[in-house]
Chains A and B, each alone.
Chain A
């Protein structure tokens, strides 16, 4: 029954070809370090799912942000778990992404013909850091407030453009409701859109070109 339906669907949309290209593709004999990319993808999906769930209760305004986060953590069923997964997943994501990059560097996997994969990867790293930076403000507690005060002040240090950068990030000279709203908007709309686009390209290239083998000693 199920197989009949799978056949019916395959005849019309050709999903088996896609399935084989993604999951049954040939890869060289590699080691566990080559799973870091998949681990990152797993964490990204975790962040997306728990992040969407958090927006069901979270309110990004100075008078509600902190209280709504406390409400999620202490009142809502399983809220502690959803928030915890998002919180720790975020830290894990940064760590794993960096390890993934180190593997690519040390095995020379960024070389021809995989330069574009590497470049999208670098952009993805920046996006992940952007996620971390914008997400850190959202609980609107003391740590969030002062970390963002410092972070935006650092952005304000370059000569000439620094002050503009700081004001653009904060949406004004001070950290305010405007800052919280734009960090939230960036965190849940701008960065996810960019992330999905780049992951799409990154994965397409990984599948299209195939992954690199572990370099041999004499190479």
Chain B
């Protein structure tokens, strides 16, 4: 019946088992990786313009802290979170909005009026009032938000 026996029954079985096993492994392994990694790849949802408050609260030449509530969806939990930004205006017309998140490792910086500087409590990062690094480990100036004024109300672009 068979002229030549290139592949023995045993070898055929070996090959079949290895291929079927490999196929099952891939069919579960690839989805498993997607499943574990998936949520990490979701981009952060856009917040749009976030209303901070009245421009009259901003003192000229001094960074002023504003806080706003935003809705955040993390996993299956929708929560309200507070976002903070320092607003600086030298002339009462042009506004700069700075994030209060230290560019080193993400702690929150605080404006210390007496020293005229931002201080980060974690690793002594120090920024000037415009958010430029004065000393310490931070690699970059404080991040800035896009900012706009409408009817004397300040808005920042949530990202």
Contact = CB atoms under 8 A, between A and B. Distances in A.
Interface stretch (A79-87, A113-121, A171-179): A79-87
Interface stretch (B31-39, B90-98, B136-144): B31-39
B28 A76 contact: no
B28 A49 contact: yes
A58 to B, nearest CB: 11
Contacts of A79: 35, 38
Contacts of A50: 28
A82 B34 CA distance: 11
A64 B76 contact: yes
Contacts of A56: 35-36
Interface string B42-78: 0000000000000000000000000000000001110
Given A49-B32, A82-B32, A76 B76 contact: no
A40 B153 CA distance: 67
Interface residues of B, number: 12
Nearest to A23: B17
Contacts of B39: 75-77
Contacts of A81: 31, 35
A82 B35 contact: yes
Interface in A65-115: 67-68, 70-71, 75-79, 81-82, 85
A85 B38 CA distance: 18
A53 B76 contact: no
Interface in B10-40: 28, 31-32, 34-39
A71 B36 contact: no
Contacts of B77: 64, 67
A53 B36 contact: yes
Interface size class of A (residues with CB under 8 A): 10 to 19
Nearest to B39: A76
A46 B31 CA distance: 13
A49 to B, nearest CB: 7
Name the residue in B31, B34, B35 with the highest tally of chain A Cβ atoms < 10 Å from its Cβ.
B35
Contacts of A71: 75-76
B9 to A, nearest CB: 14
Contact of B31 (A67, A70, A75, A82): A82
A33 interface: no
A78 B34 contact: yes
Nearest to A70: B76
Given A57-B75, A67-B76, A71-B76, A76 B32 contact: no
B38 A78 contact: yes
Name the residue in A49, A71, A78 with the highest tally of chain B Cβ atoms < 10 Å from its Cβ.
A78
Contacts of B36: 53, 56
A186 B28 CA distance: 25
Contacts of B76: 64, 67-68, 70-71, 75
Nearest to A83: B35
7 tightest Cβ-Cβ pairs between the two chains A and B: A77-B38, A78-B31, A71-B76, A67-B76, A77-B34, A78-B35, A78-B34
24 contacts: A53-B32, A53-B35, A56-B35, A56-B36, A57-B75, A64-B76, A64-B77, A67-B77, A68-B75, A68-B76, A70-B76, A71-B75, A75-B39, A75-B75, A75-B76, A76-B35, A76-B39, A77-B31, A77-B35, A77-B38, A77-B39, A78-B34, A82-B31, A82-B32
Interface of A: 46, 49-50, 53, 56-57, 64, 67-68, 70-71, 75-79, 81-82, 85
